[in-house]
Chain A
């Protein structure tokens, strides 16, 4: 996909990494010219819809599809009876059981699981026919949610446990103790763009237009399902209307559409309805955790004991790790943390912005606030007093950790020093005002990527990568990187993204993409520049050959010897070299990586590295400061001010980063005050499965949000010094707001969201 005619907006720092270049593809988006997957025009389309189960557990005994088949326009009805001939694909954890894959399941494991599909000439006809399908079930007992009395304690995941010192003994001996249980509900991605795709076969070549956070990984799934070589699948995803973790895997609806398209010999489009988006991919799992903090009278932490659990499905393990942040936030000599997963009848929960770290921070950061309140201490001072000088979990030094600066600069900007620490100390008529703070973190996750640079005879520079842009700014920062290296304005750069036939890339998940892909683009562009320099200094036809220089400068759109003497534009140079195109492909795998290694790197998580796999412990950090206004009579909470300071290392484009941070914070406002999947215990269905009833913040709920960067480049974290920015923004927002509610009202709400009935 080509991003046409990027514009330059005259910012003095345009075209340079670290500059505030406006969104490269912004005008395409605001004018509606950007084509999203489901808008891609394909001829001769058939339309598919899914029939979801209406029971939480059991078996499909039979599907009566006579009426549906007789309904106008119906081409095909699929049920669990059909032989899909597909095989299970490798999951994120690298597991691939050697089993057939049935995207329409005979075993019903959750309410909303697809049990049939209808394909018709039009979507309306498919919808009408789908209503005529009668499914007979044999129901089985179910466990509706984590709160179900039959849910049990769940299974301990030992690899997630952390333990050092003697936490229970130190807690027992501590003069000051805090113990409480914290809960977070099911939360959902509710991206504006629904899940869906168009699948089209040409012989044994499959093209899929589908929003994707990982073009190569998802193409690999389709290939594995159908037993095709990877090359036979072409997944195209130039724009994504919000993913937040939900669009990194190929899902059952994709399998159904691709299968139907093959069976019918014509392209099939299938889009999930809004309610189906709540079960097409799992949301954030509901969690509960108890935290015990022991401290001295003057607030020195002695022990942290953490016991957490999250719900998972009956057929898959997704740990929403409540202890993900707990062990690394503070200096503590005694810690014990355990996490369990509790199987219930839900779709397997999934990755949602800041997985694990998010509910974990809600627990530990609320508990710290409770400790501060009990000690009569400033919560900021308590955190600074227990500042972790190193990673107590891995024992490794931090690569960079400017959380102290985030706390102090955030506090300064917020005016925290004026806070009276007593609850209910500020009011305006019937409105209680409160100030709260909390910290957050997200690990630096690293993965290799590959990129191609193409310099055309007309001087245009193309950056080509399968990496995706779902609004984070990939297009923009890649254009900036190439523009800087070739000394050209960004409007001379074209960026092609989101295509599994392009060079491979890390997933846009785990906040790892920018650091990864920028390294690859930088490497490829530098190599292309070196190649050009070599040619310019050696080719007989080059006017720069006789300068006797050993290198050249690329600046102001011209190539010269340090800005002196003869200079050429890129097209002039290409012309003098007699070249139409110069193409260089580079990856960031160790030198000599085999083709197999490369394929594995782009299509699986095998080469992904966690934050402590090297010498250092590497994370992004943040501190949030929130002001809330709580109506004393009504219990309604309005966020009136927010200041958040971040250490995310070097920012490749502060404008894009600030927008990501704000986006994360706004999602955090929803998590704190509004969002909750309401489960009917009788049948395990999330009943508010639409955007009128599942509430996310509106503009009116979002106050002025000031964001501050306190980071410094961290070259351990990535080639260009950045740490992840995409997810850390949401982590710690909910506890900051809930802590502010406590400060306003004196009421401690330990269960999200903080809705009005919890305060009146």
Chain B
């Protein structure tokens, strides 16, 4: 690891100013930053520690919805009683992520900004070509081992999966990122890869995530985060789905539905096509399954990851069916 200087910021303004300097990086829980520094992927000159900033670790559930400070830990949010009941998909997305030790260290702001697990991205010595790390250098993953790579949102430049879980639930429920001077919907916060995979978010140098707000809704209250992976715990998603569902009084007709996918796309992936196919419809299992397939519109496989195209719609369908118990024990 390269030598760096360390600055403990006393205020958000100080942190922001320091972080604008070239080579400066913010440090929250450090579970992404240090990990990547050890791989030689990030080499900060200055690390600006924001963990002592006051007032950024609050969690509030009110009439309007949920607000989470950027410095709240993953475990604090996951275990928050009202988050668990009012926003179950959000609590679950966190408790199913990483390990207990990591969740105790890691913050919500840092969580959004975690980087891809693409093995080529993380091994600069052996694989110099990586457009995300070194723009224009090429993509080592293409033609390599791609079991965990994305099938949605990829470009010729990069096929790396966005690995996080929380952001998937946030995208599903129209959360907004609070950057202090501006408020950005999470879905816009994460950029599509296109030509510039090195640009992953709208965040500008020196901008600090202050927090996240999630509007209250019936669908958010009746939600689930379903994460599928080979290992029972402590693994990133092979495919995951955040789903919220509001049904009419008949218990079958969809009045509101939110669907997003994780583990399969280059950014947290809202599946509007699935939502549109089901809204206003009376659910049955076949309908749910066929509508869930729409989530894979435009999906491209790269060999090893072809299974995701089959798996992800099944995860979406199961998540929806779990929320509609009147359809019988289909889940």
Q: Could you tell me which A residues sit within 8 Å of B by CB distance?
A: 52, 54, 111, 124, 127-128, 131, 275, 429-430, 631, 633-638, 673-674, 678-680, 682-683, 685, 687-688, 692-693, 695, 697-701, 753, 755-757, 760
Contacts and interface: CB of A to CB of B under 8 A. Distances in A.
Contacts of B311: 634-635, 756-757, 760
B318 A698 contact: no
A275 B38 CA distance: 11
13 contacts: A128-B2, A429-B329, A429-B331, A633-B318, A634-B228, A634-B318, A636-B229, A687-B119, A687-B145, A695-B230, A701-B233, A755-B230, A757-B307
B314 A634 contact: yes
Contacts of A698: 231-234
A683 B234 CA distance: 29
Contacts of A753: 230
B234 A636 contact: no
Interface of B: 1-3, 40, 117, 119-120, 123, 125-126, 143-145, 147, 228-235, 238, 306-307, 310-311, 314-315, 317-318, 329-331
B227 to A, nearest CB: 10
A537 to B, nearest CB: 62
B144 A673 contact: no
Contacts of A674: 230-231
B269 to A, nearest CB: 18
A430 B321 CA distance: 12
Contact of B40 (A131, A631, A635, A699): A131
B117 A701 contact: no
Contacts, number: 89
B314 A111 contact: no
Given A701-B231, A757-B311, 15 more contacts: A52-B125, A124-B1, A124-B3, A634-B311, A636-B229, A674-B230, A680-B144, A687-B144, A695-B235, A698-B232, A700-B231, A757-B307, A760-B310, A760-B311, A760-B314
Closest 3 interchain pairs by CB?
A757-B307, A700-B232, A700-B233
Contact of B126 (A685, A700, A756): A685
A699 B331 CA distance: 25
Contacts of B229: 636
Contacts of B310: 760
Contact of B143 (A131, A633, A636, A682): A682
Nearest to B124: A131
Contacts of B314: 633-634, 760
Of residues B145, B228, B310, which shows the largest number of chain A Cβ atoms within 10 Å of its Cβ?
A: B145
B274 to A, nearest CB: 16
Of residues A127, A673, A756, A757, which shows the largest number of chain B Cβ atoms within 10 Å of its Cβ?
A: A757
A699 to B, nearest CB: 8
Contacts of A692: 117
A384 B14 CA distance: 76
B120 A636 contact: no
A241 B178 CA distance: 46
Nearest to B147: A678
Contacts of A124: 1, 3
Contacts of A701: 231-233
A116 to B, nearest CB: 12
Nearest to A53: B126
Nearest to B236: A692
A634 B239 CA distance: 9
Contacts of B145: 678-680, 687-688
Contacts of B238: 756
B125 to A, nearest CB: 6
Contacts of A127: 1
A344 to B, nearest CB: 16
A8 to B, nearest CB: 34
B73 to A, nearest CB: 20
A642 to B, nearest CB: 15
